[in-house]
Amino acid sequence: MNMKAHDVTRRTLLDVRNLHTVFEKDGNEVHAVNQVSFDVKEGEILAIVGESGSGKSITAMSLLRLIPSPPGRIIGGRVLFNDEDLLDLDDEQIRRLRGRDIAMIFQEPMTSLNPSLRIGRQLAEPLLVHGSVPKDQVRERCLELLRQVRLGDPEKRLDAYPHELSGGMRQRVMIAMGLACLPKLLIADEPTTALDVTVQAQILELLRDLVRANNSSMMLITHDLGVVARYADRINVMYAGRIVERGTAEEIFHHPKHPYTLGLMESMPRLDQAPGSRLTPIPGQPPDLSDPPPGCPFHPRCRFAEARCRSERPPLEQLTEHHWKACWVDTDAKR
């Protein structure tokens, strides 16, 4: 990548350790996020990749304590943001942090904006509540934000209602809202999933450029490895509530080690693949998290699975300086 963002000398902005979030469902505890640890460095774009249901969105929402409770509950771990544990803050302290220091963009631009309030009002809200800008400059700042996200005719858009905008336009508004207070960390949860393919790339580039320009960090949550490869510095691959592989984008993309990551790569169309070769989807379904399989959660779908995989869960171990994986099997040797 063009910046050496995974440079270990950079300061750590967010340090998540053993985060554990459960959901109550029909009397069972579902471990949606299970002992997850990762960190985000200043100025870095970190990706969390996984299928739907892998716990990546819940991880993101746990950071800002936006888990609906009940049924959800964070039962353990630490979320250190600038060396302050967000899980220890009281409601008022975490509220002041939301939108100002850490902002979030959600995956459904169609439903994430309030249908009965004008765009201008919704956009101004974070500015007003956090007092980031003097009141008489709020409108000017809103216009500036809309220009930054390259929304045409910003004056008119301020007075529009969400239903008058297209999906891509709404997502631009969401991004403007997320960036309004110049947060140190922007969490983008599947920001382009609901959009047309042509719009997806524009939005992601916009996000990357703006984050870089603000000198912020970004956590990019997606199921699309292709997205990740182009925009992320480092990648965490999540499966069944746990991180199964971590590394720089180059490492993960060119030298994937975990069978699940391998499966994701093989199920994705690539420009460099041999003509005529087939895409192979990962067989089977993600496990039921209220009753996970013993051993490695991926073993029922894994073509490399050995006896040990069925009984013992592999820990996340460091392979090289920039590469971790949670797997017993030496996939390189077996391939």
Partner 1 sequence: MGAYILRRLLALIPTLLIASVIVFGVVRLVPGDVLDLMLSENAYSSNAPEDRAQLEKALGMDKPLHMQYLHWIGNAARGDLGESLWRNTPVTEEIGARLGVTLELGILALLIALVIALPVGIFSAIRQETLGDNLGRSFSILALSVPNFWLGTLVVILPALWWGWAPPNKLTPFFEDPIENLKTFLVPSLILGTSLSAVIMRMTRTMMLEVLRQDYIRTAWAKGLRERRVVLVHAVKNAMIPVITLVGILVPILFGGTVIIEQIFRLPGLGQLLLEAVSTRDYPIITGVFLVTGVVVMLVNLIVDLCYGYLDPKVRFDR
Site residues, partner 1 (CB under 8 A): 64, 66, 95-100, 103-104, 106, 108, 111-118, 125-126, 129-130, 161, 163, 174, 177
At which residue do the structure tokens 């592989």 appear? Answer: 245
- Considering the complex, what minimum distance in angstroms separates the CB of residue 112 from partner 1? 4
**Side chain identity, residue 207:** L
- Name the residue nearer to partner 1 (CB basis): 6 or 130: 130
- Name the residue nearer to partner 1 (CB basis): 1 or 87: 87
- Decide: 142 and 173 in contact? Cβ < 8 Å: no
- Name the residue nearer to partner 1 (CB basis): 48 or 181: 181
- Decide: 39 and 12 in contact? Cβ < 8 Å: yes
Q: What is the DSSP string of 99-163?
A: TTTEEEE-S-TTTSS-TTS-HHHHHHHHHHHHT-S-GGGHHHHHHHHHHHTT-SSHHHHHT--GG
- Considering the complex, what minimum distance in angstroms separates the CB of residue 210 from partner 1? 18
- Decide: 51 and 34 in contact? Cβ < 8 Å: no
The alpha helices in the chain, defined as continuous H runs, are 56-63, 91-97, 119-130, 138-148, 154-158, 167-179, 197-214, 225-231, 249-254, 259-266, 307-311, 331-334
Preceding peptide of 68 cis, ω within 30°: no
What is the DSSP code (8-state) at residue 90? -
- Considering the complex, what minimum distance in angstroms separates the CB of residue 75 from partner 1? 21
Residue 99, both tokens: 């939108």
Q: How far apart are the first and last CA of the chain?
A: 27
- Considering the complex, what minimum distance in angstroms separates the CB of residue 300 from partner 1? 33
- Considering the complex, what minimum distance in angstroms separates the CB of residue 114 from partner 1? 4
- Name the residue nearer to partner 1 (CB basis): 46 or 60: 60
- Name the residue nearer to partner 1 (CB basis): 159 or 312: 159
Convert 279-293 to b/e letters by CB count within 10 Å (16 or more is b): eeebeeebbebbebb
- Considering the complex, what minimum distance in angstroms separates the CB of residue 54 from partner 1? 20
| Distance of alpha carbon 67 from alpha carbon 88, whole angstroms | 15
- Considering the complex, what minimum distance in angstroms separates the CB of residue 272 from partner 1? 38
- Name the residue nearer to partner 1 (CB basis): 93 or 285: 93
- Name the residue nearer to partner 1 (CB basis): 177 or 252: 177
- Name the residue nearer to partner 1 (CB basis): 90 or 272: 90
- Considering the complex, what minimum distance in angstroms separates the CB of residue 246 from partner 1? 26
